[in-house]
Amino acid sequence: MDDLLVAIKSPGATERVISAPIGTMSGSVFASFVAFDGLIHGWDLATATGLDYDLPPTVVTSVDEFARGALSAQMRDGDTFKDATTAPEDASQLERLVAFTGRSL
């Protein structure tokens, strides 16, 4: 995480081309994937341990918008992401995003 923080703060980080396990992308897109990954796995941990997971709505909205535009059908290989599940009608925005990633609520 320290290396990631140094890289993000380095000059030109958002314009730099990154070779990641999911493909080649700009630093800004990679940073958005890191935020998406962290948000979803944070939910996983909070759910597994019974802890509250309250995030600012603006963060959830931003990550949700990114994820819906960035998650391709090829990524839904059952390993990287599963097919989207259906969230209950009363689900929060975060729960709808979690279902979009293939998790069951």
| Residue 4 confidence (pLDDT) above 80 | no
Domain extents in the chain:
32-100
Count CA within 13 A, CB hemisphere, residue 83. 1
Average pLDDT of 64-92?
A: 92
Band (13; pLDDT cuts 50, 70, 90): confident
| Burial (CB count <10 Å: 0-12, 13-18, 19+), residue 90 | exposed
In this structure, of 12-16, 35-39, 65-69, 101-105, the range with the lowest mean pLDDT score is: 12-16
| Residue 1 confidence (pLDDT) above 80 | no
* Helix intervals (H) in the chain: 2-9, 27-49, 57-70, 93-100
Average pLDDT of 7-13?
A: 84
- Residue 73 has a pLDDT of 86
Distance CA 32, CA 101 (A): 15
Element (H, E) at 18: strand 17-20
- On average, the pLDDT of the chain sits at 91
- Residue 5 has a pLDDT of 78
Count CA within 13 A, CB hemisphere, residue 44. 9
